[in-house]
Amino acid sequence: MVRNRLRSLAIILTLAAGMAFTMVWLSLGEGFFHKLISENIKATEGFVVVQSPTYYEYPSNGNTINISASELDEIANIKGVTYVKPYVLATGVVQSPYNTKSVSIRATDFDMFDQVIPLKSRIVDGQFIDETTTNRIVIGVDLAEKLNLRVGSRVVVGASDKSGELSMRSLRVYGILDTSGSEYDDGVVLTNRETLRSLLGMEPDEYTRIGLEIDAVENLPRIYSAMSYLNTDTRTVFRWDEIKPEIVSFIAFDRALVKVITYMLIFLIILGILNIFLLSVFERRREFSTILSLGSSPTYLRLQILIEGVLYGFLGAVIGSLLTFLLLIPLSRIGVDFAKILNLSEISELFFQFSDLRVYARLSMSNFWGTFIYIWVASAVLNLVGVKKCTDVDITDRS
Amino acid sequence: MKSIIKLEGVSKIYKQGDVEVLAVNDVSLEITAGELTAMGGPSGSGKSTLLNLIGALDSPTSGVIYVDDDLTTGYTSHQQSALRRHKMGFIFQSYNLIPVLTAVENAEYVLTIQGVPRSERRAMALEALDSVGIADLQSRYPRQLSGGQQQRVAIARALASSPAIILADEPTANLDSKTSESFLELVSQLNKTSGITFLISTHDKDVMSYCDRLIWLRDGQIHYDGNEKEFNFTTN
C-alpha cells in the first residue's frame, strides 16, 4: 500500500470523505434537533418550570402557585438563567356582539417575553400591551375576523375565577397581531398580569407558572438542581422534558428518521467501499497470480491484504476525522442558514417562533466514535471480500 | 547424475464446458540435475501445461511427479507453494515483475516469502542482480527498465534463492534477437557455472540450439527427446 501511493491515497481519501460526510450530516442533524428543542422550549414553557404539581393533570384557572418577588430575584440570579417568565394563564371565552370563542388567556412580563419571542413586531394594527396598559387585550387576526373585532372594539372576556365562580370583564382590543401561526392568531388572548389577576381573583404574588430560559442546554442539570429548594407540597420544579413529553417524542421520531437516512447513506458508502476494495483486488490479479506462482502461500497473501484493509480503514477514519473537524469549525461557529439555502424569505411561514433557520453543527462524542469505529470496522470487514478474492486467481494464467 | 525431475505416466485433462481436452497424454520423462533442457512443440502441444505440472502450479489428472526425489503428486496447495518457494525459480514470458517494487526488491521477493532476514536477502538479491549484469539498475522500477532488463531482473529473482530448478516459459518471446541472444548466453553461462537445472519451454529454435537437450511435444505427448542438432524441424 505504501508503494502504490495513488491507489492507496484514492482509497483512504474515499473512506475519509465518506466518514466526513456522515459526521457532518449527523452533526447538522444534531444541531437541528438542538435548535428545535431550544426554539420550542423557548416559545412555550421554558427549560425549567415551577408550577403546581397537579397543573398538567388539572389545568384549572385556580391551580396556581405563590412565589414571592424575592424568590423570583433569586431564580433570576442563578448562573445560566437568562430570562424568568412569570405567567398568569387561564382558559376562558371572548364574546363580541357577533360571536363567542373559547380562548387561552395569557399574561406575562411582555417586555421580557418579547426578547424571547418577537411578538411585538407581529402587531399589524394597534399597539402591544405592557404592564401599564390595564383592561386591554391583544388578539390574533383570525380571532378578530371571527369575532368581527377591530382595534378599539369592546369585548367581554369571561373565565372561572379561583373560587370557581364565573368572572367577566369588559375589555378593549388594543392591538391585533399576525404570526401566521394558528396558535396565536386564533386561540390566544394576551393581556397584562394585573388585568388577568383581577379577572381570576388572584393575589399579587400568585402565578400559574414560572418559566426559565437558560443560556445553554448543557447547563440544564445544574440549574434544575439549583432550583430544587423551591419544591414544596404546592409547587414543583420541572424540567422541560418532564412536562413536554410530546416534544421528546417528536424529537425521538425525528432522530429515528435521521438515523434511517444515515443508515441509507452508510449503505451507499458501504457499496462504495466494497467497490473500491474489489476494484483494488481486481486490478492486482496479475500481481497476485505472480506472487502465488513464486511460492507465496495463499495465507500470507491474504494476511497482507487483510492488514492493508485494516490500515486503509484506520487511516481513512483518522483523515476523515481531521476533515470532519475542519468542516465543523465553520459549521459550528457560523452555522448553515437553511433559510438562504431553501430560499425562504419568510421563515415565520414555516416556524413562527424561530428567530432564524441558522443551524449550528454539533458533534457528540458518541456520534464521532460510532462513525469512526464504524468506518474502520466496516472497511476491515468489507475488505474480507477482497481477502477471499485475492487468491481466486489462476496461477497458470500469466497473460 | 542425480534425477531432479521425474514424471511417470503423467496426464492432464482440462474441462472446457462439456468438452474434455487431453493437454498432456501419458508423459514420462526424467531430467537430471544441471541439465539445460528446451521443451518445444507447436502451439497447443502441451508445453506450458507440462511446465505448470512440473512447477507444481497445477496438478496432474493421473501419473506421478517427483521433484528432487520427493513425490509431489497429491500435494496440498500449501505444500505446492512451499515447493515452488524453496526449490523452483520461474521466468515468465511477460517477466511478471511486481510493478510497485524496485529491481532489487523484485529480486529479493522470493527470499522475503522464504523468511530470509532483510540484511541477508538484500545482499543475496544484489549478488543475483550483479550476476545478470544489472546491479546498477537496482533502484529502478520495472516501468523504468527495457524488456531485456526486465527479463534480467526476472532471472535474478529466479536465481536469488538458489533454487534447484529454474522453469522458463517462453522467456525470449518478448525480446528482440540481440537481447534474446544475450539472455541465452547468460542462461548458458549460469547453467555451466552454477549447475542450475533449466527447463525452458519455447518456440524459438535459437533457444533450442543453446540447450543440451530438446524435448519435442506434439498433441500432449513426447514426440522427440534428444539432441537439438539431430532433430529434423521440417518433418516435425
State the residue for C-alpha cell 430575584: A73
A358: β partners? A337
The reply to whether residue B90 touches residue A294, judged by beta carbons under 8 angstroms, is yes
Question: Interior CA angle at A163 toward A161 and A168, to 5°?
Answer: 30
CA-CA distance, A248 to A378, in Å (whole number)? Answer: 32
How confident is the model over B4-30, as a mean pLDDT? 91
- Residues of chain A with a CB closer than 8 angstroms to some CB in chain B: 3-4, 286-287, 289-300, 395-396, 398-399
Residue length, chain B?
A: 236
Helices A245-282/A365-389 angle, 10° precision: 30
Residue B103 has pLDDT above 80, yes or no: yes
Residue B155, φ and ψ in degrees, nearest 5: -65, -45
Which sign, positive or negative, has the C-alpha torsion B89, B93, B98, B104? positive
Nearest to A398 among B85, B92, B98 (CB): B92
Give the SS3 label for residue B33: coil
| Amino acid found at A190 | L
Give the contacts of A252 (CB within 8 A, at least 6 positions apart).
Answer: none
Q: How many CA atoms lie within 13 A of B71 on its CB side?
A: 6
**How many pairs of residues across A and B have Cβ atoms under 8 Å apart?**
63
* B22 near A CB under 8 A: no
Phi (first) and psi of residue B95, to 5 degrees: 65, -40
Long-range pairs, A315-318, Cβ under 8 A, ≥24: A315/A12, A315/A15, A316/A11, A316/A12, A316/A13, A316/A14, A316/A15, A316/A16, A316/A18, A316/A19, A316/A375, A316/A376, A316/A379, A317/A15, A317/A16, A317/A19, A317/A372, A317/A373, A317/A375, A317/A376
Q: Any CB–CB contact under 8 A between B88 and chain A?
A: yes
Residues 114-153 of B with CB under 8 A from A: 114
Contact flag B113-A299 (C-beta cutoff 8 Å): no
> How far is Cα of residue B118 from the mean position of the Cα atoms in its chain?
26
Interface with chain A: mutation pick from B77, B98, B143, B165, highest number of A CBs within 10 Å: B98
Using the Cα atoms of residue A357, residue A361, residue A365 and residue A369 in order, give the sign of their dihedral.
Answer: positive
- Among the partner residues A3, A298, A300, nearest to B100 by beta-carbon distance: A3
Domain ranges of chain A: 5-40+248-398, 46-243
CA distance A106 to A130: 13
Chain A contact present for B84, CB below 8 A: yes
Q: Residue B90: which of A293, A298, A299 has the nearest Cβ?
A: A293
Residue whose cell numbers read 371572548: A94
DSSP strands (E only) in B78-181: 88-91, 165-169
CB B22 within 8 Å of CB B50: no
To the nearest whole Å, the CA of B2 is away from the closest chain A CA by 24
- Which chain A residues are Cβ-neighbours of B113 within 8 angstroms? 291, 294-297, 300
B10 contacts B27 by C-beta, under 8 angstroms: yes
CB contact under 8 A, A296 and B81: yes
CB contact (8 A) between residue B92 and residue A286: no
Measured CA to CA in angstroms, residue A96 lies from A102, A141, A190 at distances of: 12, 15, 16
Contacts of A394 in chain B (CB under 8 A): none
Chain B residues closer than 8 Å to A396 by CB = 48-49, 52, 57-58
- DSSP assignments along A215-245, one per residue: S-GGGHHHHHHHTGGG--SS-EEEEHHHH-H
CA atoms A54, A55, A58, A62: torsion sign: positive
Verify whether the Cβ–Cβ distance A294 to B58 is below 8 Å.
Answer: no
Is B78–A297 a contact, with Cβ atoms under 8 angstroms apart?
Answer: yes
B48 interaction partners in chain A (CB closer than 8 Å): 396
Q: Which residues of A touch B49 (CB under 8 A)?
A: 396
Please state the rounded mean pLDDT for residues B76-93: 90
Residues 6+ apart with CB under 8 A from B186: B132, B133, B152, B155
Q: Are the Cβ atoms of B90 and A300 closer than 8 angstroms?
A: no
The SS3 assignment for A302 reads helix
Chain B residues closer than 8 Å to A9 by CB: none
- Grouping H, G, I as helix, E, B as strand and the rest as coil, residue A356 is coil
CB atoms within 10 A of CB A148: 11
**Cα–Cα separations (whole angstroms), residue B143 to A10, A11, A339:** 21, 23, 55
Any alpha helices (H) in chain A, and if so which ranges?
5-43, 69-76, 110-116, 141-147, 182-186, 193-200, 220-226, 240-243, 245-282, 285-293, 298-333, 338-341, 365-389
Q: What pTM was computed for the model?
A: 0.68
**To the nearest whole number, what is the mean pLDDT of chain B?**
89
Q: How close, in Å, is residue A303 to chain B by CA atoms?
A: 13
B139 compared with A274, residue with greater pLDDT: B139
Could you read off the pLDDT tens digit of each residue along chain A, which spans 399 residues?
A: 556 677 788 888 988 998 898 889 889 888 888 887 777 777 677 889 999 999 888 888 889 999 999 999 999 999 999 888 889 999 999 999 889 999 999 988 877 777 777 788 889 999 998 878 889 999 999 999 999 999 999 999 999 988 889 999 999 999 999 988 778 888 899 999 899 999 999 988 999 999 888 888 788 899 999 999 989 999 999 988 887 787 788 878 887 888 888 888 888 887 888 888 888 888 888 888 899 999 998 888 899 888 988 888 899 999 999 999 999 999 988 888 877 777 665 554 545 556 677 888 888 888 888 888 888 888 888 888 888 888 888 887 765
Could you tell me which chain A residue has the CA closest to the CA of B141?
A3
Residue of A nearest to B161 (CA): A294
